[in-house]
Structure formats: C-alpha cells, structure tokens
Amino acid sequence: QSALTQPASVSGSPGQSITLSCTGTSSDIGAHDYVSWFQQYPGKAPRLIIYELSYRASGVSDRFSGSKSGNTASLTISGLQAEDESTFYCSSYTETSTLVVFGGGTKLTVL
Amino acid sequence: EVHLVESGGGLGQPGQSQRLSCTASGFNIGDFAMTWIRQAPGKGLEWVGVIRSRSYGATTDYVASVRGRFTISRDDSKNIVYLTMDSLQADDTAIYFCCRGRTSPSAMPHYWGQGTLVTVSS
C-alpha cells in the first residue's frame, strides 16, 4: 500500500479540465512544498511534470499546474488532449527515514 | 545536460547478489544526492535509497524493506553510482531507476535514467 493516496483512475474528454488528487499526512505533503508529479507512459521512465508543488519542469506545457490544500496535493490538467492519456504519480519528501514517498498512481483516460 | 544510464540488470537467483551501476554525465555525482527508485512489474514507484553529496557526508538512507540488504555507494572518479543488492528476494524484481535531485542536497527525483530490469527467479 502506497504512502500517498491517489485515485486509481480518472477520465475526461478532450478540451476538458481535470484535477488529480494526492492525499498524504502532516508528515509529508502537509509539512512542506517538496511535492512532485510525474507522468509515465507504458514501458517508459517517469517524466517530471511538476516539482516543489507548483513549478513546471523544463518543456512541460502550461496546461499542467500544481497546488495543495492541507495534506492534499492536486495536479490540474487543462485543455485535455489525447496525448495526456498516461499514468500520473505524485511524490513527497517526508520527515521519516524513508525520505521520499509516492502515490500508487492515477491512470488518466481521455475519452 | 544531465544524463543518467543504468546498467547491470538481468536475471538473479534468490539469495544471491547483484550490482547495478548508474553512469552519470553532465555533472559531478559527488556534488549531489543520488537516489535509486524501483518499479515492480505493473506496480507503482518505490523510493529505494539515497547517497548524499560529499558536503553532506556521503551518508545513506534506505527504505525499510531493503535496509541491511542493499548498499548504495559511488566512485566519484568514474562518476558512477552503485546499488549493491544482497540476499535478493523475488519481490526485488523491478525496474531500477537512478535519479538526481534538482539541487545538491535534494533526495527528490528530478532527473531520471531509463532504468534497468532486475528479475529475481530460480
């Protein structure tokens, strides 16, 4: 069981905006802004999308944005495109001996 | 440009050892924390461990499931980070990714290698 909780799947239509959630605790997401989001296509390495809560990685479209409220971080994808269909993972630094924790991943389907 | 290339994966027998390498280019590994992350087939990502930079004492930390069995080390002269896996278990089967943080002390994965597959089976 993953330390951070993500919905297993979400779906949306092209052009729609969609928000993916990632729930942690006061020891990880709630404690600081060291939250990252990754996108992964089958058979490929994860690709960094968002780091330090809300900064877009180099080359990432401004359709992607990150935020948080309390112990829950969110990734919003606006203007959904077919190429966005993939799995998204959240990650957070944590104040435990396991320095970095991940969510179980959310599979995004573009209808 | 930061570039990370993992190697050393393959088939390993339960109870045996295997060593993975991560060859870095575009920066000096001694100046950054270097992290290993793994992904079991069809599963999510799991942080395995970190070796900190020289300025942070090159100390290491590991996830509980590998602590005492896995060791992260590095050869600064070759710019290579190693993950030595002892007492391999079937649930160590995964793709292993080498990562670097955005800043020197960060254990948060920012740059990723392409991964190397380790299969533990008799």
Count of C-beta atoms within a 10 Å radius of residue A1 = 4
Rounded to 5 degrees, φ, ψ at B55 are: -70, -15
pLDDT, averaged across chain A: 95
Residues 6+ apart with CB under 8 A from A19: A74, A75, A76, A77
**For range A23-39, the mean pLDDT:** 95
Residues of A in contact with B47 (CB under 8 A): 98-102
Q: Which two tokens stand for residue B101?
A: 């943080």
pLDDT grade for A2, boundaries at 50, 70 and 90: confident
Q: How far is B25 from chain A (nearest CA, A)?
A: 18
Residues 34-93, chain B, touching A (beta carbon < 8 A): 35, 37, 44-47, 50, 61-64
Please give the C-alpha separations between residue B33 and each of A58, B21, B85, in angstroms, as whole numbers: 20, 15, 19
One pLDDT digit (tens) per residue for chain B, 122 residues: 999 999 999 999 999 999 999 999 999 999 999 999 999 999 999 999 999 999 999 999 999 999 999 999 999 999 999 999 999 999 999 999 999 999 878 889 999 999 999 999 99
Smallest Cα–Cα separation from B39: which of A75, A6, A44?
A44
How open is the CA angle A8-A75-B117, to the nearest 5 degrees? 55
